[in-house]
A and B are shown apart, each in its own frame.
Chain A
Amino acid sequence: AQKITQTQPGMFVQEKEAVTLDCTYDTSDPSYGLFWYKQPSSGEMIFLIYQGSYDQQNATEGRYSLNFQKARKSANLVISASQLGDSAMYFCAMREGVVIDKLIFGTGTRLQVFP
């Protein structure tokens, strides 16, 4: 079974608009962490934002925010005021518990920002 599901292979957004990238996860562990990474065309993986399962508030980092809905097991990334430089692949990832220490990634969403 997929642990991390990203159902949007591709998304388009106009510059300066907001966009939401979807991510759902599956775990029975009460302690877990959710991550979003950006991969531009140059190939490097850039950490964007983190949400812990016990965090009471949604995480925010500049123009990035994470819409964390625990009951629905979703952790959507919201990018506000999109910029051309936001065009990239975006990956959602999960780390389960403390003992299981690895990060499992979703299949990614390719975001294209147009002028």
Chain B
Amino acid sequence: DAGVIQSPRHEVTEMGQEVTLRCKPISGHNSLFWYRQTMMRGLELLIYFNNNVPIDDSGMPEDRFSAKMPNASFSTLKIQPSEPRDSAVYFCASRSPGGGGTGELFFGEGSRLTVL
């Protein structure tokens, strides 16, 4: 089975440019999470969706960040305009519906963003 698929794996852009990160969760999973990882702040939860609906976006840094999940198989995280401090690895993760199991998250390989 395919895991969580993220694209691009690496992105280098200049300050002020728009960045769009994409995620395809595991088929059948109904929860999707976006995390950001930096050396200084570790793994931070940005936003998560349940059944395509944003449940908690309290971790989104500011209005420059937005996330959408138009359907069960696709999500985007957009940064506009990007700034050097946005440089990080962005992970997408998904989880299967509740009612059994451990509820662990399955992570994608991450998108490494560098803003110059």
* Interface residues in chain A, defined as those with a beta carbon under 8 Å from any beta carbon in chain B: 33, 35, 37, 43-45, 47, 50, 52, 91, 95, 98, 101-108
Q: Which B73-112 residues have C-beta < 8 A from chain A?
A: 89, 91, 93, 98, 102-107, 109-110, 112
Indicate which residue in B42, B43, B105 contacts A47 across the interface (CB closer than 8 Å). Answer: B105
Q: Are A101 and B55 in contact (CB under 8 A)?
A: yes
Q: Which residue of B lies closest to A104 (CB)?
A: B45
Instruction: Count A-B contacts at CB 8 Å.
Output: 46
**Interface of A (DSSP majority class):** strand
CA distance A90 to B46 in the complex (A): 21
- Residues of chain B within 8 A (CB-CB) of A43 are 89, 109-110, 112
Q: Are A44 and B107 in contact (CB under 8 A)?
A: yes
CA distance A108 to B44 in the complex (A): 12
Q: Which B44-78 residues have C-beta < 8 A from chain A?
A: 45, 48, 50, 55-56
Q: Which residue of A lies closest to B89 (CB)?
A: A43
**Interface of B (DSSP majority class):** strand
Q: Are B109 and A44 in contact (CB under 8 A)?
A: yes
Q: Are A108 and B42 in contact (CB under 8 A)?
A: yes
Q: Are B56 and A102 in contact (CB under 8 A)?
A: yes
Q: Are B107 and A50 in contact (CB under 8 A)?
A: no
Indicate which residue in A37, A91, A95 contacts B103 across the interface (CB closer than 8 Å). Answer: A95
Q: Which residue of B lies closest to A91 (CB)?
A: B43
* A47-B56 contact in complex given A102-B45, A105-B42, C-beta closer than 8 Å: no
CA distance A108 to B43 in the complex (A): 9
- Residues of chain A within 8 A (CB-CB) of B42 are 105-108
- Residues of chain A within 8 A (CB-CB) of B33 are 102-103
- Residues of chain A within 8 A (CB-CB) of B91 are 45
Q: How far is the CB of A21 from chain B (nearest CB, A)?
A: 15
Q: Are A33 and B89 in contact (CB under 8 A)?
A: no
Q: How far is the CB of A7 from chain B (nearest CB, A)?
A: 14
